[in-house]
Structure 1
């Protein structure tokens, strides 16, 4: 049961969509395609190689699948459908192409550190059958795409109203701003690494640009991308009260909120900041000082080393 239990909330989320009047058909199509995608792109390579880094390929392309399905099968107002579909397709394809580049350049020939960390975590939890745990983890990622991560797209694209809500505008602005922030953070990191490679510096700490104010500005921005989608979905969620039962309506609303929680947990503790820093502290001598002066996740002002020493 300890292997299966992490799957249960996501299976419940998918079942909720399947039992709604509004999303049963589109959720069935999406779920089956997600499972097929993850079986071929993640589960089989993981079983063959003993590495689960292929999740980084399957998950973003699964988001692209959500966007395509939303565009093809949703009955909402066409412009609203197009906007949310493009958001998923664009974001998923951007990350997916990056993952394919990692694959073709040989970076996935060894396990990515965050997945090595996950294996350590499983062993501490008494999950000693690592091959089984990896397969369940891969399936979990696929079911997450079939369930909660599809909530914003399906809910927004179900709204037939031509009227645009201020919350929708706010959500899209947050999405765009966060997407730009994530892209800028990634470019700054790549430029930093390239410069260090040219100058022969090794294992230095990236603390330039956005990285000066957060140790993981890319993860924070990714979280805000999803928060933007959740906010944009709120007016369309209210519209569902006319076609869904009160219980279903409430559960869908809780599912929307759960999207933000899922992504925060993932980006901070699960495969994001915490695993990254576990290895960064070991690899980069200056990283402990960076931890003292810079917030881990939420951007904020740089802390004075002198002030920190006085407090200690």
Structure 2
């Protein structure tokens, strides 16, 4: 492990995320809505993975694999969010947050953009640390292959789930009803479950060489955010009074997929 190189990766990643979110903040101020920050969530991870791959001196195949997987996931997610939010106003989550924290430029930048950038830096630590780690051998190679399989499972769940929901919402006949078909019949949050698998898969690849294994706190943090934090739990709270949602909850798993009842 080359800690000198690793420190450079940490520094450059933090600087790049700070610049990206500053530019995003200025664009958001001009547009008059701050949910544009969601569209750069995936892009921030791609940026960090690119820096790690370029600056790192660890295993080149592992650096390229992680860059490719993060890029495919991040670019798809950012494009999906940009399309989904186009033509809509502010996200109620941010409106409620700013009502509590204040709407001064410093409060907005701190509670929306700075916190998201810091979260991206911490969650991406497996990718950053792996870039300066040694070669993957023996059991590490098995872990890396398992990581790719877990990542692929998550990517398919997330992308197919998003597409199924988009098609459902595009049909006027479904207005006011609950999406309960396809992957949405197996879990109430296939997109969040997919995200969960993506980051555990990336961690398995990073953990294939020391000291990547110690970054396990990163997917744990992401898991908490997806299951109990700003992901599934918050959406459940927003949907609780929708007609038919109580029945949907009874039939369908909360997070981890299982056959519908």
Asked if Structure 1 and Structure 2 have the same fold, meaning a TM-score greater than 0.5 normalized by the shorter chain, the answer is: yes
Partner of residue 142, structure 2: 166
Inter-partner Cα distance in structure 2 for 1:295 and 1:119: 33
Q: Name stretches of at least 5 consecutive residues in structure 2 with no aligned partner.
A: none
Inter-partner Cα distance in structure 2 for 1:192 and 1:165: 40
Q: How far is the alpha carbon of 1:88 from its aligned partner?
A: 1.4
Q: How far is the alpha carbon of 1:132 from its aligned partner?
A: 4.5
Q: How far is the alpha carbon of 1:117 from its aligned partner?
A: 5.1
Inter-partner Cα distance in structure 2 for 1:166 and 1:290: 39
Partner of residue 16, structure 2: 33
User: Do 1:212 and 1:302's aligned partners in 2 also have CA atoms closer than 8 Å?
Assistant: yes
User: Do 1:47 and 1:131's aligned partners in 2 also have CA atoms closer than 8 Å?
Assistant: no
Inter-partner Cα distance in structure 2 for 1:28 and 1:91: 24
Q: Give the TM-score normalised by structure 1.
A: 0.74
Q: How does 1:158-307 map to 2 (within 5 A)?
A: 158-161=132-135, 163=137, 165-194=141-170, 196-197=171-172, 200-238=173-211, 253=214, 256-282=215-241, 284-303=242-261
Deviations 1:137-166 (A, max 9, x none): 3101112223x2221112222233263521
Q: Give the TM-score normalised by structure 2.
A: 0.87
**Cα distance change, pair 117–166 in 1 and its aligned pair in 2 (3 A):** farther
Q: Name stretches of at least 5 consecutive residues in structure 1 with no aligned partner.
A: 1-19, 241-251, 304-312
Inter-partner Cα distance in structure 2 for 1:294 and 1:178: 19
Q: How far is the alpha carbon of 1:210 from its aligned partner?
A: 1.1
1:66 paired with 2:48, answer yes
Task: Give the RMSD, CA atoms, in angstroms.
Answer: 2.4
**Cα distance change, pair 266–70 in 1 and its aligned pair in 2 (3 A):** same
User: Do 1:38 and 1:142's aligned partners in 2 also have CA atoms closer than 8 Å?
Assistant: yes
Aligned to 2:68, which of 63, 66, 86? 86
